[in-house]
């Protein structure tokens, strides 16, 4: 079938809406008419080849829409179902089998290689030539997407698709870091470095579990103000003061948990140094491949601190996304306050606004 997709021809090239061909779903695949797709920082750094992705490619990995067709082996969704799309995983490795699909042994092949892992094919083509699709198992910067049975999540009919779409990656990563990875207990302290969509989702999650101290660190006063409105108890302007000293001034010994959501190695060092003894730092922000960080070994060793990566909030999307939906419906997770909506043909405006920090979470609307 002919669809419209935002194609990136080469590294750092623009997103150009073009007609391309989309093949039929295979037995384990799902054809989704995309209603909306969040724009994530990962889409933009892959456009710029910070990670080794192939071109030409269609990105987009926070899609939501309506199922139009399913392969013969798909049993969890049927045509007409409203679904969100999330990351893909193999389902067969040890981590997938034990409920840790975000640490799938084949995570790169299933999400960044932008082809079907089994045979290197793509459902997308243009004039008979392959266009790389299947980015995070979906490539949802398009009017239709081929997803996999493993990365679609059925939604209740009452959930707006344009609000559900961004839950599939950045939002679940920030919230999941607090609720799943750290399983933060009530009364704990948390510092979040970077008050973008991921960081603010973490702030909201920390408020849900009744953290006593929630510190948001950012360079933009308007983001810090929003963090306070969403549950932060304190803010630190990283451009005006030393974040580590400020956090220690607030907490005394440091925080129990910290999250680094900027991708800056220098900020990661601050996130580690702000920890109390036995504190845990979660690394979420993604810099370019090969980036390194310098840490004082003794600050880790002597105080029993932990530094660990966090992928997709340690989420099983079919379990966790419905939990986030329920929290949103209850008014406890007002994630829609982060969102700004753009028609699909305004993708350039949406990306420019995101890169200039005019909006927190841009969301493309492909259909009503």
When pLDDT is cut at 50, 70 and 90, the band that residue 289 belongs to is confident
Residue 184 confidence (pLDDT) above 90: yes
**Residue in this structure with the two tokens 């669809």, named with its chain if needed:** 3
Mind listing the domains of the chain with CATH numbers?
2-168+334-365 (3.90.180.10), 171-311 (3.40.50.720)
Residue 345: other Cβ atoms inside 10 A: 12
**Residue in this structure with the two tokens 């623009």, named with its chain if needed:** 14
CA–centroid distance for 40 within its chain = 6
Residue 198 confidence (pLDDT) above 70: yes
Alpha helices (runs of H) in 10-106, residue ranges in sequence order: 41-47, 94-97
How much is the average pLDDT of 179-205? 98
**Residue in this structure with the two tokens 């190695």, named with its chain if needed:** 265
* 181-to-21, 54, 172 alpha-carbon distances in Å: 40, 31, 11
pLDDT at 121: 97
Please give the mean pLDDT across all residues of the chain.
Answer: 96
pLDDT digits (tens, 9 = 90+) for 23-32: 999 999 999 9
| Cα 98 to Cα 91: distance, rounded to the nearest angstrom | 10
pLDDT at 333: 98
Q: Above pLDDT 90, what percent of the chain?
A: 96
User: 188: closest CA among 214, 169, 154, 160?
Assistant: 214
Alpha helices (runs of H) in the chain, residue ranges in sequence order: 41-47, 94-97, 107-111, 161-164, 170-176, 197-208, 221-230, 243-251, 265-273, 297-301, 317-329, 347-355
pLDDT at 367: 78
Strands 275-283 and 255-260 turn out to be parallel
* 338-to-102, 201, 316, 323, 334 alpha-carbon distances in Å: 24, 9, 23, 18, 8
277 membership: H or E segment, kind and range: strand 275-283
Q: 291 Cβ partners below 8 Å, 6+ apart?
A: 265
pLDDT digits (tens, 9 = 90+) for 222-259: 999 999 999 999 999 999 999 999 999 999 999 999 99
User: 68: closest CA among 56, 57, 77, 60?
Assistant: 77
pLDDT digits (tens, 9 = 90+) for 321-357: 999 999 999 999 999 999 999 999 999 999 999 999 9
pLDDT at 361: 97
Residue 368 confidence (pLDDT) above 70: no
pLDDT digits (tens, 9 = 90+) for 37-72: 999 999 999 999 998 899 999 999 999 999 999 999
Alpha helices (runs of H) in 136-182, residue ranges in sequence order: 161-164, 170-176
| Cα 293 to Cα 299: distance, rounded to the nearest angstrom | 14
pLDDT at 170: 95
Are residues 23 and 142 in contact, defined by beta-carbon separation less than 8 angstroms?
no
Query: pTM (2 decimals)?
Result: 0.95
If DSSP codes are grouped into helix, strand and coil, which group holds residue 301?
helix
Residue 99 confidence (pLDDT) above 70: yes
pLDDT digits (tens, 9 = 90+) for 102-135: 999 999 999 999 999 999 999 999 999 999 999 9
Tokens representing 24 are 């039929």
């Amino acid at each position: 079938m002919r669809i419209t997709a935002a194609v990136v021809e080469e590294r750092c090239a623009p997103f150009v809406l073009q007609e391309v061909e989309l093949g039929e779903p295979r037995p384990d695949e799902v054809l989704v008419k995309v209603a909306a797709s969040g724009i994530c920082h990962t889409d933009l750094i892959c456009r710029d080849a910070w990670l080794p992705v192939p071109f030409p490619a269609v990105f987009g990995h926070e899609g939501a829409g309506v199922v139009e067709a399913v392969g013969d082996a798909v049993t969890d969704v049927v045509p007409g179902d409203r679904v969100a799309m999330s990351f893909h995983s193999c389902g067969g490795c040890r981590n997938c089998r034990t409920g840790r699909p975000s640490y799938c042994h084949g995570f790169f092949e299933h999400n960044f290689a932008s082809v079907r892992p089994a045979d290197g094919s793509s459902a997308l083509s243009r004039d008979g030539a392959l266009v790389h699709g299947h980015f995070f198992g979906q490539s949802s910067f398009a009017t239709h997407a081929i997803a996999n049975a493993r990365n679609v999540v059925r939604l209740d009919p009452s959930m707006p698709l344009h609000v559900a779409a961004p839950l599939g990656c950045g939002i679940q990563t920030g919230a999941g870091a607090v609720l799943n990875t750290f399983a933060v207990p009530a009364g704990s302290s948390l510092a979040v470095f970077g008050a973008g969509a991921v960081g603010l989702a973490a702030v909201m999650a920390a408020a849900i579990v009744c953290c006593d101290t929630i510190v948001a660190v950012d360079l933009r006063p308007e983001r810090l103000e929003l963090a306070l409105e969403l549950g932060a108890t304190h803010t630190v302007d990283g451009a005006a003061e030393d974040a580590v000293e400020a956090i220690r001034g607030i907490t005394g010994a440091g925080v129990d948990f910290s999250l680094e959501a900027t991708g800056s190695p220098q900020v990661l060092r601050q996130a580690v140094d702000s920890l109390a003894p036995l504190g845990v730092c979660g690394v979420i922000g993604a810099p370019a491949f090969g980036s390194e960080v310098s840490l004082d070994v003794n600050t880790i060793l002597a105080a029993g601190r932990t530094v660990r990566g966090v992928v997709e909030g340690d989420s099983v999307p079919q379990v966790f996304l419905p939990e986030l939906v329920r929290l949103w419906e209850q008014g406890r997770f007002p994630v829609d306050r982060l969102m700004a909506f753009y028609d699909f043909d305004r993708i350039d405006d949406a990306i420019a606004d995101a890169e200039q920090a005019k909006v927190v979470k841009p969301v493309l609307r492909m259909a009503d």
